[in-house]
Amino acid sequence: MEVFERADLAAAVVTAGGQHGNDPHNALQVCLQLQQQFSCVPADAVPMLAHQLHTTTGHITSLVSFYSFLSETPRGLYDLYISDSISDHMQGSRQLLHRLCLALGVRPGEPRLDGRVTVSPTYCTGLCDQGPAGLVNGHPLTRLDDSRIDTISRLIENAVPLDQWPRELFTVEHRIYRRDLLLGTPLERGDALRSIADQTPEEVLRELAASGLNGRGGARFPTALKWRMCREASSETRYVVCNADEGEPGTFKDRVLLADYADDVIEGMTVCARVIGAREGFIYLRGEYAWLRPHLEWVLQRRRGNDLLGDAILGDSNWQFDISIHMGAGAYICGEESALIESLEGKRGTPRNRPPYPVTAGYLQQPTVVNNVETLFSAAHIAARGSAWFGTSGAGGTKLHSVSGHCERPGIYEFPVGCSVGEVVTAAGGDGAIAVQVAGAAGELLLAEEFQRCIDLNTLKTSGSFIIFGPDHDLFTTTANFTRFFAHETCGFCAPCRTGTQLARSVVDRMAAGRAFGRDREAIDRLIDVTPALSHCGLGGTAMNPLRDLRDKCPQRYQALFSEDDTSVLHFDLEQELSEIKTLTGEIPEAEQ
Amino acid sequence: MRSTTPQGNCDVIQREPGQKIRIASCSLAGCFGCHMSMLDIDELVVEVVHHLEYCRGPLNDVRELRDVDVGVVEGALCNEDNVKVLEQFRANCDLLVAVGACAINGGLPAMRNHFGLTACLKEAYLDAEGVVNPEIPRDAELPRLLNRVRPIQEVVKVDYFLPGCPPPAAAFTELFTALIEGREPAFDEDMVRFD
Ligand SMILES: Cc1cc2nc3c(=O)[nH]c(=O)nc-3n(C[C@H](O)[C@H](O)[C@H](O)COP(=O)(O)O)c2cc1C
Ligand code: SF4
Ligand code: SF4
């Protein structure tokens, strides 16, 4: 294993720390920088980091153990992730992962001894519309197939630097198949700011409230009310945070907005800042989207140059607001707003007790608005054009859907709020679909007979994930994939979710292996009742939805997963379970293993 | 909250008047903390001895096990001996009660799963600083370790779970009282603990 020179580590720690003000609140950002440099956060660097950032070694190790994209041991020159999110899974991501591992002579998740490469499975990389997808050293890999996998393994074996890899491996397309109010009428840079420049915050809030805009991140909280609560909370300092964690499997509309409409999103943040009285904002960008960061930095810089951001917005020195980008590191839970704030403060992403809500005690305990990318994007358009314009297509305007799975045209669809599931399926060419998963793993499975249901605030909330399942799809695959996802992503803070998700995964694993029994069925029934009821946050609150939906909506498939043969002793192969110790003590020679 | 599992059936235990309920207990990979908590039932013990017969376990060092009504199992499965004891319990007890975090979730002993058995043993017996005569112990007297530490319900059917580390004495009190009264136990919320 690679050994790092202490002097190199010390220099890297001093540089990274210095670039982040040696502030313990930036510990995660500093760790990420080290990870990039050394492909790990080396154990020897931990005390140095603690010293440099005026914090404890426990704090640093707590981050390394929590975030998937930080590792203790070097991942090597090429650090690969292959998405096993359901949409990618349906396109054969598993086989591709194994093909790559076989070609490179590695096991998934384990670094190759020569320090060349690590290949790990991961969940959604936000590229479901052009999967199977993956990441190499943070760069997106799209449309993977056997031949691309073989190309990649050759490039790695030959140690070809990334900038000499064929560009088409990295091509990301942003396909928008249906444009409505928002995507159909582009905003000139600064339009929203100019139109609110003469309005009072009250006037802006009144327009926003009249538009009926509510949160696009999934919870659908009225945006104007959120801003008002923050504005009215007593404090000198307030913050705006753009939630660009987009971790829900199957969602990628925020990616498209950040890539093609970054100005609009940032403009929405600037409008919000003006209304609530904030001078500082953050974009919390998920680690999987690190490749979007240079573009976003460039847009921010251009806006500063155009007086649309910075010390004197539109030349008004009383209007000051700036934005910095904070990176996430591969934790779905950090999309939950209070966990996100913890992460912004450089800690593990453990959801906070609520109340107090972020609007009164958020970042650094100051009033903070956390909004989804699309919410801010929509707010900018409403600020520029008025509430009546947004309201024309029915209450609450339009919503973006990220459509993937078994359909002809996976991509972005903007539909009026209240459209039916079937309309989206048809538009995407999902003929013959047997089911759709709306709102991702945390959402709901809808069978074909439910396709007339409307996607709106009261009946079917969604973050915008829309995964279509064709006639040959086994819905248990989806259940298993999502259940494992939650077991992987639970933050571990509270027992009902920490243990509940693991128990659910172990049953699902046994179902897949044909070793689930009647008592497991009872165990699942209990988990479905208990886990959401006792969990601390929304992750535990929704983690059992996939099993619940399979049980309630596909009873035949569900029953077939259990064998009634409920003998009192489970299958347990003692000899197999003793294989390691036998090898270690020489009872069986290593070669036989 | 009514806990923890409706799977079991305390009223399956039929007894003649004057006949005692036969109880056995064991500690697999556990710390005896659960047994300590079980002994912590205070004056209930006076009542209990009239109704329950403790027929096998670490408290009396009897190894034999036959026709037991209730088996109380502390600890996870970490070696082959644990598996045998557990199978013996399952085969001879009408009801099996898993007590404590270790039995239910693997608990503390299962922390080794994170590193893998081989890595743990190498660190302890071969590679650690100051090791003399580096060698992985091997002896007929030493039960061989399993690849992974497992909670007991992964191997046998469990009828009741008393969570906690350890479960509070009140939970044992309720369990024993319910057995004596021939009803389903009802655990208050504060008796159902996970940490
Ligand atoms: C487990 C979990 C994950 C979440 N992930 C996201 C996310 O990736 N993006 C997002 O915008 N909101 C996410 N949310 C919702 C946020 O907590 C919050 O409601 C949202 O950012 C508020 O913004 P909005 O009002 O603009 O929707 C998540 C919530 C939970 C419970
Ligand atoms: S419900 Fe799950 S994710 Fe949420 S705080 Fe509890 S353990 Fe963490
Ligand atoms: S559950 Fe806790 S008290 Fe009981 S054996 Fe395990 S560690 Fe000891």
Residues A208 and A256 reside in one and the same domain: yes
Strands A280-285 and A322-327: parallel
CATH value at residue A480: 1.20.1440.230
Write down the pLDDT at residue A134.
97
The distance of Cα A324 from the centroid of its chain, to the nearest Å, equals 19
Tell whether A306 is within 8 A of chain B (Cβ).
no
Most ligand 2 atoms within 8 A of CB, residue of A342, A491, A527 to mutate: A491
**Neighbouring residues of A225: CB distance < 8 A, sequence distance ≥ 6:** A209
Tell whether A72 is within 8 A of chain B (Cβ).
no
Residue A323 has pLDDT above 60, yes or no: yes
CA pair distance A23, A34, nearest whole angstrom: 15
Write down the pLDDT at residue B1.
27
Kindly give the number of the ligand 3 atom that is closest to the alpha carbon of B74. Answer: 5
Counting every residue written for chain B, the total comes to: 195
Q: Is residue A373 part of a domain?
A: yes
Residue, of B23 and B154, whose pLDDT is higher = B23
Overall average pLDDT of the A238-263 stretch: 97
Counting every residue written for chain A, the total comes to: 593
Q: Is residue A306 part of a domain?
A: yes
Residue A566 has pLDDT above 80, yes or no: no
Asked if the bond preceding A132 is cis, omega within 30° of 0, the reply is yes
CB-CB neighbors (< 8 A) of A519 in chain B: 7, 157
| Three-state DSSP class for residue B4 | coil
Most ligand 3 atoms within 8 A of CB, residue of B108, B152, B172 to mutate: B108
Overall average pLDDT of the B182-186 stretch: 89
Strands B21-27 and A411-416: unpaired
Least confident of A281-290, A574-583, B141-150: A574-583
Residue A582 has pLDDT above 60, yes or no: yes
Asked whether A489 lines ligand 1 (CB < 6 A), one says no
Q: Is residue A581 part of a domain?
A: no
Compare CB distances from A578 to B116, B138, B144 and report the shortest one's residue: B144
Write down the pLDDT at residue A214.
92
- Residue whose structure tokens are 């259990």: A562
- Residue whose structure tokens are 């650090």: A79
CA of A350, nearest ligand number: 2
Instruction: Say whether B83 and A572 touch across the interface (CB within 8 A).
Output: yes
Q: Is residue A575 part of a domain?
A: no
A205-220 residue pLDDT tens: 999 999 999 999 988 8
Phi, psi dihedrals of residue A196, rounded to the nearest 5°: -95, -5
The distance of Cα A85 from the centroid of its chain, to the nearest Å, equals 11
Residues A424 and A538 reside in one and the same domain: no
Buried b (16+ CB within 10 A) or exposed e, A281-320: bbbbbbbbbbbbeeebeebbeebeeebbbbeebeeeeebe
Burial class (CB in 10 A: 0-12, 13-18, 19+), A58: exposed
Distances (CA, A) of A376 to A212, A213, A344: 14, 10, 19
CB-CB neighbors (< 8 A) of A536 in chain B: none
Instruction: Say whether A584 and B136 touch across the interface (CB within 8 A).
Output: yes
Strands B21-27 and B52-56: parallel
Hey, how many other C-beta atoms are within 10 angstroms of the C-beta on B41? 20
Kindly give the number of the ligand 2 atom that is closest to the alpha carbon of A540. Answer: 1
Residue B3 has pLDDT above 50, yes or no: no
Write down the pLDDT at residue B4.
39
Q: Is residue A160 part of a domain?
A: yes
Residues A247 and A383 reside in one and the same domain: yes
Q: How far is the CA of A350 from the centre of ligand 2 (A)?
A: 7
Compare CB distances from A569 to B87, B121, B138 and report the shortest one's residue: B87
CATH value at residue A101: 3.40.30.10
Going by pLDDT thresholds of 50, 70 and 90, the confidence category of residue A518 is: confident
Residues A163 and A180 reside in one and the same domain: no
Q: Which residues pair with A325 in a beta bridge?
A: A283
Going by pLDDT thresholds of 50, 70 and 90, the confidence category of residue A409 is: very high
CB-CB neighbors (< 8 A) of A579 in chain B: 147
Distances (CA, A) of A186 to A189, A232, A263: 9, 32, 11
Instruction: Say whether A577 and B147 touch across the interface (CB within 8 A).
Output: yes
CATH value at residue A337: 3.40.50.11540
The model's pTM: 0.81
- Give the ranges where A112-172 is alpha helix by DSSP (H): 146-157
Q: How far is the CA of A352 from the centre of ligand 3 (A)?
A: 29
- Smallest CA-to-CA distance from A258 within A350, A323, A311 is with A323
- Smallest CA-to-CA distance from A157 within A220, A106, A83, A218 is with A106
Write down the pLDDT at residue B12.
55
Least confident of A152-166, A420-434, A492-506, B56-70: B56-70
What residue ranges in A439-568 does DSSP mark as E strands?
444-447, 465-469
Residues A207 and A112 reside in one and the same domain: no
Residue A564 has pLDDT above 80, yes or no: no
Going by pLDDT thresholds of 50, 70 and 90, the confidence category of residue B10 is: low
**Neighbouring residues of A421: CB distance < 8 A, sequence distance ≥ 6:** A436, A438, A446, A450, A451, A452, A453, A454, A455, A460
Residue, of A559 and A458, whose pLDDT is higher = A559
Residues A232 and A270 reside in one and the same domain: yes
Residues A220 and A344 reside in one and the same domain: yes
Residue B37 has pLDDT above 50, yes or no: yes
Range of the structural domain that residue A503 is part of: 476-559
Domain count, chain A: 5
Compare CB distances from B117 to A566, A576, A580 and report the shortest one's residue: A580
Residues A371 and A451 reside in one and the same domain: no
Q: Is residue A59 part of a domain?
A: yes
Instruction: Say whether A499 and B155 touch across the interface (CB within 8 A).
Output: no
Q: Is residue A105 part of a domain?
A: yes
Q: How far is the CA of A218 from the centre of ligand 1 (A)?
A: 6
Q: Which domains does chain B have, with CATH numbers?
A: 3-110+146-191 (3.40.50.700)
Residue A432 has pLDDT above 60, yes or no: yes
Burial class (CB in 10 A: 0-12, 13-18, 19+), A565: exposed
Q: Could you say which of A170, A187, A220 is where a domain stops? A: A170
Q: Could you say which of A137, A170, A203 is where a domain stops? A: A170
Q: Could you say which of A124, A143, A170 is where a domain stops? A: A170
Residues A122 and A185 reside in one and the same domain: no
Q: Which residues pair with A373 in a beta bridge?
A: none
Dihedral angle sign, alpha carbons of residues B85, B91, B93, B96: positive
Asked whether A537 lines ligand 1 (CB < 6 A), one says yes
A vs B: CB pairs below 8 A: 64
Distances (CA, A) of A349 to A33, A329, A490: 18, 10, 10
Write down the pLDDT at residue A567.
54
Identity of residue A372: N
Overall average pLDDT of the B20-34 stretch: 95
Going by pLDDT thresholds of 50, 70 and 90, the confidence category of residue A459 is: confident
Write down the pLDDT at residue A590.
55
| Three-state DSSP class for residue A480 | helix
Phi, psi dihedrals of residue A222, rounded to the nearest 5°: -60, 125
Least confident of A55-59, A273-277, A378-382, B93-97: B93-97
- Closest-CA distance, A584 to chain B, in angstroms, reads 7
Asked whether A491 lines ligand 2 (CB < 6 A), one says yes
Alpha-carbon dihedral angle through residues A14, A20, A21, A26, given to the nearest 10 degrees: -110
CA of A371, nearest ligand number: 1
Counting residues of chain B whose pLDDT is more than 90, the rounded percentage is 58
Asked whether A52 lines ligand 1 (CB < 6 A), one says no
Q: Which residues pair with A446 in a beta bridge?
A: A436
- Residue whose structure tokens are 């029994």: A517
Kindly give the number of the ligand 1 atom that is closest to the alpha carbon of A214. Answer: 25
Residue A339 has pLDDT above 80, yes or no: yes
Evaluate whether A64 touches A102 at the Cβ level (below 8 Å): no
Evaluate whether A551 touches A559 at the Cβ level (below 8 Å): no
Overall average pLDDT of the A165-173 stretch: 97
CB-CB neighbors (< 8 A) of B80 in chain A: 574, 578
Dihedral angle sign, alpha carbons of residues A383, A386, A390, A391: positive
Q: Is residue A591 part of a domain?
A: no
Which token pair is B97?
């009660």
Residue A502 has pLDDT above 90, yes or no: yes
Q: How far is the CA of A334 from the centre of ligand 2 (A)?
A: 11
Identity of residue A174: H
Overall average pLDDT of the A497-502 stretch: 96
As a 3-state breakdown, chain A gives helix, strand, coil percent values, each rounded to 5, of 50, 15, 40
Residue B6 has pLDDT above 60, yes or no: no
Write down the pLDDT at residue A571.
61
Overall average pLDDT of the A575-585 stretch: 91
Overall average pLDDT of the A30-52 stretch: 97
Q: Which residues line ligand 3 (CB under 6 A)?
A: B 30-31, 33-34, 74-75, 100-102, 107-108, 165-166
Residues A150 and A200 reside in one and the same domain: no
ipTM, two decimals: 0.87
Mean pLDDT (chain A) is: 94
Residue, of B53 and A374, whose pLDDT is higher = A374
CB-CB neighbors (< 8 A) of B157 in chain A: 519, 566, 568, 570
Identity of residue A322: D
Residues A368 and A260 reside in one and the same domain: yes
Buried b (16+ CB within 10 A) or exposed e, A396-409: bbbbbbbbbbbbee
Residue A83 has pLDDT above 50, yes or no: yes
Residues A121 and A184 reside in one and the same domain: no
Asked if the bond preceding B6 is cis, omega within 30° of 0, the reply is no
